């Protein structure tokens, strides 16, 4: 067990190391004077002093060989120091990420609380009632949830409600501890959109997993013993079918944390996605690199957690 965990941790560290190299090299290889572009287009105006330019180039390691500059940046990443923002020279990029976490985490949690129970229920019903009148519309809902991007759903929903009902939702974010009602009023629509995409993916996986288990010999044996269908479903079908669903759910939770960039922009939520979008617009390269590493760390960490949980849920999995 512990040998497996150590091996997976080493693999996760290797992935993050490769991502860090890619991010650093891409930013370093950008054409033109990246620092001048960032400072002049980042809201500081065209009058940039030579001292500011020199300080920013020193911050990015542009005066050093690329290997030395990368080692300095990577060393800062290991201790949580990724440098200063080019736009806000008084703020650490890591501090700006931490300040932006609350809206992103709250949006992801709310979407998961809405989407997961619905997805599991729809997937189970669709599998149990396979090829019936009830199955086809549930499969259609799942396919739409998978196929339609979140920004298309957001645009269509905002357009429909404003034209048909004359209703336009409020934008922005208020902390939950300051005004819970207003907080939920600002988050419910993007959470519903994220939940719909989540529902489509998890519903399809749940249906496939349940159908696969239903055909197993031990399920037929349980039926032949005279057990009620609800007992067979709870003790034999779901217990085994949801093992494979767990992997997908873990990956989807990582997506909720790292993939809500467009929705945060549309609904003016000051989360990590909005911070990333703004950094790209302003060419705030230290912030872009830091945010990219944050998203990569979330995905890698969630993959590691899912692997460990999978082994606990399925006794057939051995940590060799």
pLDDT the model gives residue 186: 84
> Which stretch of 83-92, 94-103, 272-281 has the lowest confidence by average pLDDT?
83-92
Spatial separation of the C-alpha atoms in residues 307 and 35, rounded to whole Å: 41
Scanning 215-284, the segments in alpha helix (DSSP H) are: 217-224, 229-232, 238-258, 261-266, 272-282
Backbone angles phi, psi at 133, to 5 degrees: -60, -30
- For the domain made up of 94-313, the CATH class stated in words is mainly alpha
Q: Rounded mean pLDDT of 275-283?
A: 83
pLDDT the model gives residue 118: 92
pLDDT single digits (tens) 310-319? 766 666 665 5
Domain with CATH 1.10.3720.10 in the chain: 94-313
Nearest to 153 by CA among 145, 141, 165: 145
Tell me the CA distances in angstroms from 75 to 80, 245, 311, one per residue in order. Answer: 9, 38, 34
pLDDT single digits (tens) 200-251? 888 988 888 888 888 788 888 887 887 787 788 877 788 788 777 887 888 7
Tokens representing 245 are: 């669903």
pLDDT the model gives residue 43: 47
pLDDT the model gives residue 316: 63
pLDDT at 42 > cutoff 60: no
Assign 3-class secondary structure to 220-232.
Answer: HHHHHCCCCHHHH
The whole-model pTM stands at 0.80
């Amino acid at each position: 067990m512990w040998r497996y965990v150590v091996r997976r941790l080493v693999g996760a560290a290797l992935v993050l190391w490769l991502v860090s190299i890619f991010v650093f090299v891409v930013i370093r290889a950008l054409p033109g004077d990246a620092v001048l572009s960032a400072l002049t287009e980042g809201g500081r105006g065209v009058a940039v002093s030579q001292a500011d330019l020199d300080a920013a180039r020193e911050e990015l390691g542009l005066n050093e060989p690329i290997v030395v500059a990368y080692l300095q940046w990577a060393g800062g990443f290991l201790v949580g120091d990724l440098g200063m923002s080019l736009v806000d020279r008084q703020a650490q990029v890591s501090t700006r990420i931490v300040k932006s976490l609350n809206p992103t985490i709250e949006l992801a949690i709310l979407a998961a609380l809405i989407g997961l129970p619905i997805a599991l229920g729809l997937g189970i019903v669709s599998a149990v009632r396979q090829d019936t009148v009830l199955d086809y519309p549930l499969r259609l809902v799942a396919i739409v949830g998978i196929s339609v991007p979140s920004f298309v759903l957001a645009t269509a929903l905002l357009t429909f409600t404003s034209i048909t009902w004359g209703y336009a939702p409020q934008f922005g974010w208020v902390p939950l501890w300051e005004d819970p009602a207003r907080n939920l009023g600002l988050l419910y629509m993007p959470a519903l959109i994220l939940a719909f995409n989540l529902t489509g993916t998890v519903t399809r996986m749940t249906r496939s997993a349940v159908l696969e288990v239903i055909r197993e010999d031990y399920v037929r044996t349980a039926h032949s013993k005279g057990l009620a269908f609800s007992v067979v479903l709870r003790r034999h079908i779901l217990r085994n079918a949801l093992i494979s669903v767990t992997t997908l759910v873990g990956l989807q939770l990582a997506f909720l944390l790292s993939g809500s960039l467009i929705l945060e922009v549309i609904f003016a939520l000051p989360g990590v996605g909005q911070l990333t979008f703004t950094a790209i617009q302003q060419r705030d390269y230290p912030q872009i690199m830091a945010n990219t590493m944050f998203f990569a760390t979330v995905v890698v960490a969630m993959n590691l957690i899912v692997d460990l949980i999978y082994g606990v849920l399925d006794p057939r999995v051995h940590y060799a």
